[in-house]
Chains A and B, each alone.
Chain A
């Protein structure tokens, strides 16, 4: 049974169909990449999966259970963790406390276990040194890492990463990819929206292309990237 399943999910904002009849299954432990031009509905698709937005039609299943109407906090506890495209730290709390909230609520970690659990994630994501710093004052790279770390602290079985490599230098990107690989290696399923294709394709096993809310293609990354249609839409190359 797939861990996550979308069945004919559609959502409109006024006359604009931002998600148009999208269906796919995600197997446990799988890594799926999503690409598409700006405005293709990638982040909206994430919001439909996490419950921040409800679909107009279609169903979202988690472990075969219908969660289409379940609020975000329920889905987090059921195992869907997410990072935001634009980092949304709890600015008044320290980096450590940001993780503590996620671990205690979303991850269901006990008060006794939480400190070590959080510090472990912080050191794995390279944030150990800034644990006591206020999250509001972090530079971009560390904000992105905090998004990832906080999502990890909710103990997800599926982790949704929204353009987490965007705006980073090559060296920073390599480090981040290393961390994401390690998460994947532990058996966590990943859905990753990314414009930095070389980073994305070095991790994911399948690639989905969204265009105007529709799923244009889904398959092995090299096959998808070789498709003339994808090259035209996404890379602007005349076929």
Chain B
């Protein structure tokens, strides 16, 4: 089993190295395509932390994508800052917005929480539509050439010997890839920590968790804020490449939440590799069914229902149950006769 696990981790590292080398190897269209996939992956990882580990089934994650994107646009257009600084501001703005949102949404439970977050996200969309300086309801575009003037683009251009536009794509791609890796490592470290243990206890039995000293509201609020930050960063970065923002696109519940829920559920909710598997399946389906229009969404929906009925922990959960292989186990093994196993040292 350990051999399988090391083999799995080894393959993962090779795949990761290939992904980092991609802009030097593949045409620009492939890099752009993968950027889109990575965007969905980061969003899915965030949603998985919320719904799969903290029990917070949010249908309002598009609020953080939208606010992240708009804050980034505001930083560039209104303040004249570098887009990369704008991305950071986008993440911070989303986290700041999450504070009042949590005060409202945390009064609700289960299905009401889901609807509540959706409503708040729509209020945010309507609110942003009133922002005349950023185009109101019709939105706005980044000033021409913004992406090409980003920090580091010139160096990348010289290094890869490509056009400025391709260098900008490579930069945003690397950042999104790094964000995905950071999300995975941070999730693993967090879930293996004391707080992660508390979170899993809350998921199993909130009342009993309280009775052994775990504060459910505090832990959930922390996860909610951190995921808002991650989702905001991701949204801001995604819209550097899209270059144009409208309230409907930035706050789209289908693009930024429904697809993301599908990916997480298919891949394995409440498991760390789940979103990665899910996003691969999602992308394959998208490719396969691209020419069939609406049928594509119908197939997605049916597949989602089938997985929910027959493999409740998704494809990765099924794989782990069948084979016993878990690449990123979150358990704490009891010490036995001096042989204390400490899987914490193994990070992905």
Contact = CB atoms under 8 A, between A and B. Distances in A.
B211 A72 contact: yes
Nearest to B207: A88
A89 B215 CA distance: 17
Contacts of A19: none
A100 B192 CA distance: 12
A80 B190 CA distance: 28
A50 B201 contact: no
A178 interface: no
Interface residues on A, range: 35 or more
Interface in A143-168: 150, 153-154
Interface in B206-231: 207-215
Given A105-B198, A131-B334, A115 B214 contact: no
B204 A93 contact: yes
B232 to A, nearest CB: 30
B341 to A, nearest CB: 10
A101 B215 contact: no
B212 A100 contact: no
B335 A101 contact: no
Given A96-B332, A105-B198, A76 B213 contact: yes
A102 B212 contact: yes
B213 A102 contact: yes
Contacts of B208: 84, 88-90
Interface string A79-114: 000101000111111101110111011110001000
A81 to B, nearest CB: 8
A43 B96 CA distance: 42
Given A104-B194, A106-B212, A106-B213, A92 B200 contact: yes
B214 A101 contact: yes
A94 B204 contact: no
B311 interface: no
Contact of B212 (A71, A76, A94, A122): A76
Contacts of B332: 94, 96-97, 100
Contacts of B204: 89-93
B331 interface: yes
A77 B203 contact: no
B340 interface: yes
Contacts of A88: 205, 207-208, 211
A115 B332 CA distance: 9
A105 B194 contact: yes
A55 B214 CA distance: 22
A132 interface: yes
Given A88-B208, A106-B213, A100 B335 contact: no
A102 B340 CA distance: 20
Interface residues on B, range: 20 to 34
A105 B214 contact: yes
A208 to B, nearest CB: 22
Contacts of A107: 213
Nearest to B194: A104
A18 B207 CA distance: 21
B150 interface: no
A119 B337 CA distance: 11
A116 B335 contact: yes
Nearest to A154: B212
Nearest to A132: B334
A132 B205 CA distance: 19
A102 B198 CA distance: 9
Contact of B205 (A76, A90, A96, A116): A90
Given A90-B204, A91-B205, A73 B210 contact: yes
A97 B210 contact: no
B333 interface: yes
Contact of A111 (B194, B198, B214): B194
A105 B193 CA distance: 12
B335 A119 contact: yes
A94 B204 CA distance: 12
B211 A50 contact: yes
Contacts of A97: 197, 200, 331-332
A101 B201 contact: yes
A73 B334 contact: no
Interface string B323-335: 0000000011111
Contacts of A50: 211
B74 to A, nearest CB: 40
Contact of A73 (B194, B203, B205, B213): B213
Contacts of A6: none
B331 A101 contact: no
A118 interface: yes
Nearest to B208: A88
B205 A119 contact: no
Contact of A52 (B205, B207, B331, B335): B207
12 contacts: A52-B210, A71-B210, A72-B211, A82-B211, A90-B209, A93-B204, A100-B197, A101-B209, A101-B212, A105-B198, A106-B212, A153-B212
Given A52-B211, A96-B332, 20 more contacts: A72-B211, A73-B213, A84-B208, A88-B205, A88-B207, A89-B204, A89-B205, A93-B331, A94-B331, A94-B332, A97-B332, A101-B201, A105-B198, A105-B212, A105-B214, A107-B213, A111-B194, A119-B335, A122-B334, A131-B334
Interface of A: 50, 52, 71-73, 76-77, 82, 84, 88-94, 96-98, 100-102, 104-107, 111, 115-116, 118-119, 122, 131-132, 150, 153-154
